[in-house]
Amino acid sequence: MSGNTTAQPANALELRIYDLLRPFRNECFAELTAEENPEATELAVKHERKAIVLAQNIAFLAHNHIANTARHISASDLFVVMRGWTGDGAKTGGAIAILVRYPEATMGVVKADFEAGAGVIETLSVKVDEMLAEVF
């Protein structure tokens, strides 16, 4: 294959997506303290696994899109953009998108709107799950 059609290994994309989701992962742990909930550690591990699987699934969708368009991207071509989010966790609504920047244009991998009170990771997970249902 030529350099223009070979996608990077999924793990590079997964790591980039996982890192880009870092500001939103604290939503998963906001109410977990061992004093209030004896299962806090187990729940924290569950939430972290969900974030990791979400990154893997988004990387799959990005690779699937890349394979269908025969374009080359690197992990640094992936971006997370937000609209309407004020950084106060789940108190405000807004929208999130994972985008791929090509030389000619920017294309969306996944986009999701979230309501006030909804977590960004949870909302994104639901949207990605819907997209994956179309694949298999």
Q: Domain segments of the chain: what residues?
A: 10-135
Q: How far apart are the first and last CA of the chain?
A: 27
The DSSP call for residue 82 is E
For the stretch 17-28, pLDDT in tens is: 999 988 887 765
Parts of the chain with a pLDDT under 70:
1-10, 27-38, 66-70, 88-91
For the stretch 40-57, pLDDT in tens is: 777 777 888 888 899 999
The pair of structure tokens assigned to 67 is 């394979």
